[in-house]
Amino acid sequence: MLKILLSNDDGVHSPGIHHLANYLKEIGSVTLVSPESERSASGLSITMHKPLRTKKVNFFDDSINAWCINGTPSDCVKFAIDSLLTETPDLVISGINHGSNLGTDILYSGTVSAAIEGAINDVPAIAVSLDTVGKCDFEPYAKLAAKLCKQLYENNIKKGIVMNINIPYIPIGEIKGVKVTKLGVRRYKNCFIERLDPRGKSYFWLAGELDNKDFNNFDTDVGSIYNNYISVTPITFDLTSYETITKMKKWNIANINDLQ
Amino acid sequence: MLKILLSNDDGVHSPGIHHLANYLKEIGSVTLVSPESERSASGLSITMHKPLRTKKVNFFDDSINAWCINGTPSDCVKFAIDSLLTETPDLVISGINHGSNLGTDILYSGTVSAAIEGAINDVPAIAVSLDTVGKCDFEPYAKLAAKLCKQLYENNIKKGIVMNINIPYIPIGEIKGVKVTKLGVRRYKNCFIERLDPRGKSYFWLAGELDNKDFNNFDTDVGSIYNNYISVTPITFDLTSYETITKMKKWNIANINDLQ
């Protein structure tokens, strides 16, 4: 039976992970290890300076072993694989996240980071996000996501690769299909808003308006979602720019005497 | 004059950033924006759920404008470029970090993340780390790092690329040269150590022994440092695995009817 490790960044109480767990148990045995509270925008941060505690949680049915941890999504997956699970999982799945994880934004995403942590540990991994900001019903998207995860797994996701799935929040019947995409570009302008506290001192909120240039670029995740397709973007954690290495061979930087 | 934005993840009080600032002011005008305290292993996390505050700091000489922020390294660079600086900097530099940032570990690195945030904002960026764990004197390495940063900048670092520099902590005269490298692989085993609190409840510390296979692979940053070379690794923030996209064209996943 397929051994699935499920995590997320919205925390163990989020409906996205509950609905996904319920459908994933139809395709495998599910162990859930998730942050005890929301950890959005945590990136691939890990907890080095405070101790981690784990707690068994019981609000799933008996077929799902579930724990929560006072750490980040990366902590959860690392801890589960290293210390909690008796066998290495076949697949790490993270989600369903409440909100998209597209383009450059995935670098900040706790959801994607949990999946990357799986890939770093040589376990095929999938991140799933639903492109919505308000209240939503995850149920039909969870059903669809579980089936898509199974399809992707059966096609042999290579070790070290994460499949980043984003689903448009429109009625299921209106979704046009699944596109294999690259990461698009997402930029924000006016990122910070200044406010004054009751003592007249200023503070700032991270905000920002989306300045999106890839809306109609179907090759990108951003364009696919905008045009009612599910996007699946394969991502790697090897950030080396090999193209730049080739160019740098001509640079004159190797001489240590020039630096003293 | 070269406009340099300097940040780090060890915090505004760390000696690494002080020494580097002192040498960088010889090659440009330096603005320093840094976390108010240590933020190691913060990855590319950003602060969305609490307000940010900035504070002017005065313990540099008058030629260096310096601020600290109650946020992550990414917050600092984002905020500086978006709201604090009147002109876009020519170069973002992060460091000198107390400890190496090599291989897979860079994904967790606040130092590298500050530089990546520069690259995301289209500013050429450099991260600098010194491979030491104990007490150390940053001064001679700061002098060398400032010169290397200048050399790299003058070779035209492409927008979107970060130069990740790691320097071995050995006497300067013993450093053999500078190598252009790819990211190596760093793995850890026995990642978590269990302890009992005074009430008999268990908690865990992230630890882990390095299980390093790239010590003698000179093409990698890990191997270069181990063999007394400075490593310069060009990294990108586009995590798309283009190789996998090509393979996925043959996968049977595009049919939405199979998913309902």
How many CB atoms are located within 10 Å of the residue A160 CB?
A: 22
pLDDT in tens, A116-125: 999 999 999 9
- pLDDT-derived band at A210 (thresholds 50, 70, 90) equals confident
Q: With a cut of 80, say whether residue A42 has pLDDT above it.
A: no
A236 and B245 within 8 Å at the Cβ level: the answer is no
Mutate to test the interface with B, among A37, A53, A209, A240 (most CBs of B within 10 A): A240
| Residue A141: predicted pLDDT | 97
Cβ–Cβ contact A60 with B under 8 A: no
Q: With a cut of 80, say whether residue A60 has pLDDT above it.
A: no
A245 and B182 within 8 Å at the Cβ level: the answer is yes
Superfamily of domain B3-184+213-259: Survival protein SurE-like phosphatase/nucleotidase (3.40.1210.10)
Q: What is the mean pLDDT of residues A26-35?
A: 95
pLDDT in tens, A151-176: 999 999 999 999 999 999 999 999 99
Distance from CA of B239 to the nearest CA of A (A): 5
Candidates B41, B181, B239; nearest CB to A48: B41
| Residue B207: predicted pLDDT | 80
A43 and B45 within 8 Å at the Cβ level: the answer is yes
| Residue A41: predicted pLDDT | 67
pLDDT in tens, B57-94: 987 788 899 999 999 999 999 999 999 999 999 999 99
Candidates A40, A116, A232; nearest CB to B107: A116
B167, B128 contact by CB (below 8 A): yes
**Mean pLDDT, chain B, integer:** 91
* 3-class DSSP assignment, residue A19: helix
Residues of B in contact with A251 (CB under 8 A): 151-152, 155, 180
A51 and B195 within 8 Å at the Cβ level: the answer is yes
**Mean pLDDT, chain A, integer:** 91
- pLDDT-derived band at A225 (thresholds 50, 70, 90) equals very high
pLDDT in tens, A229-244: 999 999 999 999 999 9
Q: With a cut of 80, say whether residue B163 has pLDDT above it.
A: yes
A146, A138 contact by CB (below 8 A): no
Distance from CA of B72 to the nearest CA of A (A): 10
Residues of A in contact with B144 (CB under 8 A): 259-260
The class (CATH top level) of A3-183+215-259 is alpha beta
Distance from CA of A226 to the nearest CA of B (A): 17
> In b/e form, how buried is each residue of A39-72, taking b as 16+ CB within 10 angstroms?
bbbbbbbbbeeebbebeebeebeeebebbbbbbb
Closest CA to B118 of B3, B18, B28: B3
**ipTM for the assembly:** 0.89
pTM, rounded to two decimals: 0.91
pLDDT in tens, B166-187: 999 999 999 999 999 999 988 7
Beta pairing class for B91-98 and B3-7: parallel
Tokens in use for A134? 């308000």
Nearest CA in chain A to B250: A155
- pLDDT-derived band at B206 (thresholds 50, 70, 90) equals confident
| Residue A152: predicted pLDDT | 96
| Residue A76: predicted pLDDT | 95
